[in-house]
Amino acid sequence: MNDVPQIVEINEIIEETPTIKTFVFDWDMDKFGVPSPGEFVMVWNFHNEKPMSISLIDKENSRMAISVKNVGEFSSQLHDLKVGDKIGIRGSYGNGFSNDLTDKKVLAIGGGVGMAPINAIVSDLLKKGNAVDVVPAAVTKEELLFMESLEKSGAKIHPCTDDGSFGFEGFATDCTVSLLEDNSYDFAFVCGPEIMMKGIYEILEDAGISAEYSLERYMKCALGICGQCCVDNTGWRICVEGPVFKNEKIEEISEFGKYRRNAAGIKQ
């Protein structure tokens, strides 16, 4: 881990969807450590800094990637970058997904750009002999992430779209209920809009399936100092105790799926 931004050159940009791009860059894992799936990095565009999930951890080629949805000024500036441009990266940070599972049947669910950390953990799980079912969920077909690479990886893909333009017609919650009618799983990993994860949590709890959930909050320091990303009733910091929480911890977070706070601390 490094707490000072390292300047890296973007060596590949993948236009995943009309709104999401993946930025690939070299990362000295001997010097800065090997990130774990579910961890995040702070990305610096030389003006501002934001947290981004790691979507690719390529140990063999010492590469890493972030996948960014164009939703505001910062992400729009990143989307304007070209191959050869530079950004600052510090981290990785946080509590990632459990990566000690072997020979298990695993369900991985990602909503929208929440597929970024899911993509990273799926790759890790497959290398360790796990059978992995993946539910990539999006509003429409053109926004589904990592479909081609996931199919090549050997995972079993169950895409779902809100509008029914591809795969299962309905929400990720509906698709999960459908899968559980004919399948059983040893463990699950979930990331996406919190209202989606709340529904998935209730479904998996009813089915007795242990799971981990990746949460998102407004972050500034990523070091656990500023307290900006604390969850109300526990005092847990998403940047340190999270962003990944096991289901028994999720149960203790009273705000889960209900509200979040903006940069001013106002509930949203």
Residue list for the binding site: 221, 226, 229, 239
From residue 229, alpha-carbon distances to 5, 39, 170, 218, 252 in Å are: 20, 15, 31, 5, 16
198 contacts 179 by C-beta, under 8 angstroms: no
**How far is residue 179's CA from residue 182's CA, in Å, rounded to a whole number?**
6
- Is residue 259 within 8 A of residue 267, CB to CB? The reply is yes
**Which segments are annotated as binding site for [2Fe-2S] cluster?**
221, 226, 229, 239
Angstrom distance (rounded) from CA 218 to CA 227 = 10
Q: Quick one: angle between helices 172-180 and 194-207, nearest 10?
A: 10
Q: How far is CA 258 from CA 3, 254, 266, in A?
A: 32, 8, 13
CB neighbour list of residue 181: distance below 8 Å, 6 or more residues apart: none
Measuring CA to CA, which residue among 207, 137, 226, 216 is closest to residue 174? Answer: 137
Closest CA to 213 of 195, 227, 225: 195
The Cα 93–Cα 268 span in angstroms is 25
Residue 261, classified by CB atoms within 10 Å of its CB into exposed (0-12), middle (13-18) or buried (19+), is: middle
Which residue type occupies 197? M
